[in-house]
Structure 1
Amino acid sequence: MVTIYFSGTGNSRYIAERFSEKTKAACFSIEEVIDFGEVLTTTNTVAVCYPIYGSCVPRILRDFIIAHQSCFEGKKLIIFCTQLMFSGDGARIFTDLLDGVAVEILYAEHFNMPNNICNLPIFPVQDNKKINRYLSKAEAKLERVGRDLSSGIVKKRGFNVLSQYSGYLLQRRSFVRLEKKAEKDVKISAACTVCGKCIKICPMQNLKQVDSGILQNGQCTLCYRCVNQCPQQAITVLLHAPVKKQYPGIHQLYSDDF
């Protein structure tokens, strides 16, 4: 088995790596420069983990799956999506990317994780105590997933009709337009010192340095990585309220490895 994931600020990376540790699966970020064609075609089971944005798979992962669609033919799939509270069919929507590809869904689950939208006042960035609470629940759910898989129990979170309609009607229907707007809606304030960190960490190569500062290329995937890691809190995407407290990500809180 192999696990592949995309993670903007570390939540999905945490789930992917912890699941892989428990199952002794190889684990790769889709941002790694490796031969994913070989990785995917030489395994029988693929676990996929990603954050859900407005009940949509992030653009960067959609592009990746479409480019490697044929590699999933005949595979067994385990699908994990990370979410703030609710996505409806956040795990099921991934299967739409494999329309016409024969796959078997072994498991699908949603994980509530800490908020990384750091400039949305109604959902403040949590303190360490609350983050630990999320992680404890995620660990318990991962243990249950492991037991179910070992026992051959199949669960498909978000695959029922109610989940599909709620995901579409409550989020996806309106988010599609917002996602398109966000592609070109990165704003950088005068506080920017042109340190170049945002350019380095952007998974879409969406930012570039010019004489006047930092410019965008219209390719933002809305992962909020730059918003949360800008040393000057000078970047916003789509939501342009001031950034008061950034989400450092789980790996930054508990290690120096991210």
Structure 2
Amino acid sequence: MKTIIYWFSGTGNSLAVAKELAKQCGDAELIPVARAIRNPPPSAGRIGLVFPVYAFCPPALVARFVAKLNASPDSYIFSVITYAGSPGGTISVLQRLMKKRGLDLSASWGVKMPENYPPFGGAPAPEKQQTVNAAAAERINKIAAEIQQSPRGRHEKIKTVWKIVSRMMFPVFQKRAARADRSFRADKKCNGCCLCTRVCPVNNVAMVDGRPSWMGHCEQCYACFHWCPQKAVQYGRSEKQHRYHHPAVSLSDFEM
């Protein structure tokens, strides 16, 4: 069965998951959500959505993509979400979005990955990153084996309180995320290499007089922050934070 896996990622956590799932599923194609939303491809027998949890919800870009998703009502659609703290009620929000599109989320899984959110302190030390990624690799292998069986109705139980929290957070985050880029800046280490403009999935970073400028439609993926080779991109007081990207991905995977 042909599988299309749509992915969204800033540091590579979700992309690393998507790449391994595609490898183990066989006949699979990886497509970034940022590209697919501009030109939705045809449907497939099995469709995957792999993305990180933002404020206990799907990212805004993923939500907009689901509203355009090409799939038939009987398509097998699965999702694998990545998170550092708690997935909250992310899957319940995704299920509602799918229902509005006339689709059903057949199955879902979650994978705990290294933290990378600058407002909450950023990434842990490299040793901790390795430990978390090693455990995640085992989890991904189990998920891949289950996906090949195409189970339906396979969802981890979500507590009612998390469903309520995520339902409340979703519209708030959707509204505020884009303008949160006002906290970005480039410090004196910036050499004008333009890498931040190339890794942004929504072209939210532009060079103005040789310096990066954020344009007000941010997706909060922090690719510009974590991939900057000079560690010149800052978010608030982030100078001492570790930078992170998953070891299984490369810069070329992100350059749009």
Please, what TM-score do these two structures have when normalized by structure 2?
Answer: 0.82
In structure 1, runs of 5+ residues without a counterpart are none
- The aligned residue for residue 131 of structure 1 is 129
Compared with structure 1, are the counterparts of its residues 99 and 208 closer, same or farther at alpha carbon in structure 2 (3 Å cutoff)?
same
> Is the aligned partner of 1:27 residue 2:30?
yes
Q: 1:155 to 1:168 in 2, by over 3 A?
A: same
Is 1:156 aligned with 2:180? Answer: no
Q: What's the CA shift string for 1:137-189, capped at 9, x where partnerless? A: 223323333444428464213555343124346x6576456524314442222
The alpha-carbon distance between structure 1 residues 177 and 256, as it changes in their structure 2 partners (threshold 3 A), is: closer
Tell me, yes or no, if structure 1 residue 251 matches structure 2 residue 240: no
Is the deviation greater in 180-189 or in 212-221?
A: 180-189
Residue matched to 1:186: 184
Tell me the equivalent position of 1:56: 57
CA positional deviation for 1:242: 2.0
> What are the ranges of 5 or more consecutive residues in structure 2 without an aligned counterpart?
none
Aligned residue pairs, count: 248
Give the 3 Å change call, closer, same or farther, for CA 178–84 of structure 1 in structure 2. farther
Measure, in 1, the Cα distance between the counterparts of 2:77 and 2:159: 18
- In 2, the alpha carbon distance for the partners of 1:178 and 1:35 equals 23
| Corresponding residue SS for 1:141 | helix
Work out the percentage of aligned pairs sharing the same amino acid: 18
- In structure 2, the CA distance between the partners of 1:212 and 1:21, relative to structure 1 (3 Å rule), is closer
**Does the 8 A contact of 1:84 with 1:112 survive in 2?**
yes
Structure 1 counterpart of 2:4, which letter?
V
- Residue by residue over 1:175-222, the C-alpha shift from the partner in whole angstroms, topping out at 9 and shown as x without a partner, is 456524314442222332222111121111111122262222111111
Of stretches 45-54 and 82-91 in structure 1, the one that deviates more from structure 2 is 82-91
SS of aligned partner of 1:135: helix
Q: Secondary structure at the match of 1:104?
A: coil
- The structural deviation recorded for 1:226 is 0.8
Q: What is the rounded CA distance, in whole Å, between the counterparts of 1:93 and 1:49 in structure 2?
A: 15
TM-score normalised by length of structure 1: 0.81
RMSD: 2.9
Answer yes or no: is the 8 Å Cα contact 2:178–2:219 preserved in 1.
Answer: no
Shift of 1:7: 0.9
State the Cα distance separating 1:14 from its structure 2 match. Answer: 0.7
Q: In the TM superposition, what whole-angstrom CA distance separates every residue of 1:29-62 from its partner, at most 9, and x where no partner exists?
A: 22447985334x2x12211000111112222223
CA distance change for structure 1 residues 199 and 180 in 2, over 3 Å: closer, same or farther?
closer
Which whole-Å CA distance do the structure 2 matches of 1:97 and 1:140 have between them? 30
Return closer, same or farther for 1:184/1:36 CA change in 2, 3 Å cut-off: same
For residue 234 of structure 1, what is the aligned residue in structure 2? 232
CA distance in 1, matches of 2:137, 2:175: 34
